[in-house]
């Protein structure tokens, strides 16, 4: 009777499992590779090398996000489409080279290309990190038009101006003396970068005048754009009433056999 009651109660046991899921951020880095990025005011590195270094550190700290890479000078090219392959992203960053033949900078085209990479993204948070050191002076799409495109798609743009306004050491190749560094005037249009930030809801553009300043800015972006994690518990049960049901059945059969074959004989022997 006891086993039958247990079986009717339908006992079950199992294990508790945890599902850990994340809501990653889709991030496209748009990096200026125009000739002015060779300026050495981030010594011992030039501007591009400093930008690549902090960009790689940023990627390594965010394993759950998708990354893409756009490089621009007179024109913009996608180097890496959105991907979880962080090794490919890091390798492409390492391969970035300054386009020394470029005589102009198309910031708007670089930003628009980055927007296009995020157009079909379904991520809850979509981000562009725009790194440049100059003034947009070419391209079919101007920076503010591209910023408007980003706003319509819910994309946040973090513009970062790198370098100092005014005279900065710039390398020149001398056929006799080799590489020489001559102070050269390079302009930086922070006003337009600020308008891009305001348009897309990130407040104000950041200015990095040295490697530490650039790293600090990237750290702040990392803090602001956190990946969200959700945890859900599941209980995997298996029904365990059948063993008890079989035991109850076995005891009932045993009792029946006792009543038929054993108990009727006992009084005669006594």
pLDDT digits (tens, 9 = 90+) for 205-251: 999 999 899 999 999 999 888 766 554 555 555 565 566 556 656 66
d(CA 105, CA 219): 26
Least confident of 122-126, 143-147, 151-155: 122-126
Cβ atoms of 112 and 76 within 8 Å: the answer is: yes
Compute, in degrees rounded to 10, the torsion defined by CA atoms 132, 135, 141, 146: 50
Token pair in block for residue 132:
């440049």
- Is residue 157 predicted with pLDDT exceeding 50? yes
Mean pLDDT of 132-145: 94
Compute, in degrees rounded to 10, the torsion defined by CA atoms 149, 49, 162, 165: -130
How many Cα atoms are found within 13 Å in the side-chain-facing hemisphere of 111? 33
- Is residue 181 predicted with pLDDT exceeding 70? yes
d(CA 133, CA 38): 10
Biggest distance spanned by C-alpha atoms of the chain: 130
Q: What is the pLDDT of residues 7-63, one digit of tens each?
A: 455 555 555 455 445 568 999 999 999 999 999 999 889 999 999 999 999 999 999
- So what's the pLDDT on residue 270? 43
More confident residue, 228 or 188: 188
CB atoms within 10 A of CB 195: 17
Question: In Å, what is the CA distance from 49 to each residue of 60, 70, 211?
Answer: 17, 16, 10
- So what's the pLDDT on residue 13? 52
- Is residue 265 predicted with pLDDT exceeding 60? no
- So what's the pLDDT on residue 269? 47
Q: SS3 letters for 122-181?
A: CCCEEEEEEEECCCCCCCCCCHHHHHHHHHHCCEEEEEEEECCCEEEEEEEEECCCEEEE
> How does the average pLDDT of the chain come out, rounded?
84
The DSSP call for residue 99 is: B
Bridge partners for 180 per DSSP:
172
- So what's the pLDDT on residue 146? 98
- Is residue 163 predicted with pLDDT exceeding 70? yes
Question: In Å, what is the CA distance from 3 to each residue of 237, 244, 259?
Answer: 20, 5, 20
- So what's the pLDDT on residue 20? 47
Phi, psi of 56 (to 5 degrees): -65, -45
d(CA 210, CA 186): 15
d(CA 81, CA 231): 29
DSSP 14-74: EEEEEEEEEEPEEEEEEEE-BGGGG--TBTTB-HHHHHHHHHHHHHHT-TTSEEEEEEESS
Mean pLDDT of 112-141: 94
Identify which of 23, 64, 249, 41 has the alpha carbon closest to the alpha carbon of residue 164: 41
Tell me the pTM: 0.77
- So what's the pLDDT on residue 4? 44
Q: What is the pLDDT of residues 85-105, one digit of tens each?
A: 999 999 999 999 999 888 789
Identify which of 149, 153, 31 has the alpha carbon closest to the alpha carbon of residue 89: 31
Phi, psi of 140 (to 5 degrees): -75, -25
Mean pLDDT of 142-151: 98
Mean pLDDT of 258-267: 58
The percentage of residues in the chain with a pLDDT greater than 70, rounded to a whole number, is 75
d(CA 185, CA 181): 13
């Amino acid at each position: 009777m006891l086993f039958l009651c247990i079986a009717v109660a339908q006992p079950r046991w199992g294990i508790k499992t945890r599902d850990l899921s994340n809501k990653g951020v889709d991030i496209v880095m748009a990096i200026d590779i125009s000739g002015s990025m060779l300026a050495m005011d981030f010594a011992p590195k030039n501007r591009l090398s400093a930008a690549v270094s902090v960009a790689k550190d940023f990627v390594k700290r965010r394993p759950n996000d998708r990354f893409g890479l756009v490089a621009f000078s007179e024109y913009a090219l996608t180097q890496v489409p959105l991907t979880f392959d962080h090794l490919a992203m890091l390798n492409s960053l390492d391969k970035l080279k300054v386009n020394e033949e470029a005589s102009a900078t198309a910031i708007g085209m670089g930003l628009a290309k980055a927007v296009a990479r995020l157009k079909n993204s379904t991520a809850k948070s979509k981000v562009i990190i725009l790194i440049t050191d100059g003034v947009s002076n070419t391209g079919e799409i101007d920076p503010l038009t591209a910023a408007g495109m980003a706003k319509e798609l819910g994309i946040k743009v973090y513009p970062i101006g790198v370098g100092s306004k005014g005279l900065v050491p710039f390398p020149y190749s001398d056929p006799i003396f080799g590489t020489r560094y001559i102070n050269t005037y390079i302009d930086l249009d922070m006003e337009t970068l600020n308008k891009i930030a305001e348009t897309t809801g990130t407040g104000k553009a950041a200015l990095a005048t040295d490697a530490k300043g650039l790293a600090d800015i990237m750290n702040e972006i990392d803090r602001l754009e956190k990946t969200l994690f959700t945890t859900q518990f599941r209980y995997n049960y298996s029904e365990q009433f059948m063993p008890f049901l079989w035991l109850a059945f076995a005891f009932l059969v045993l009792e029946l056999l006792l009543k038929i074959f054993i108990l009727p004989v006992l009084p005669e022997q006594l």
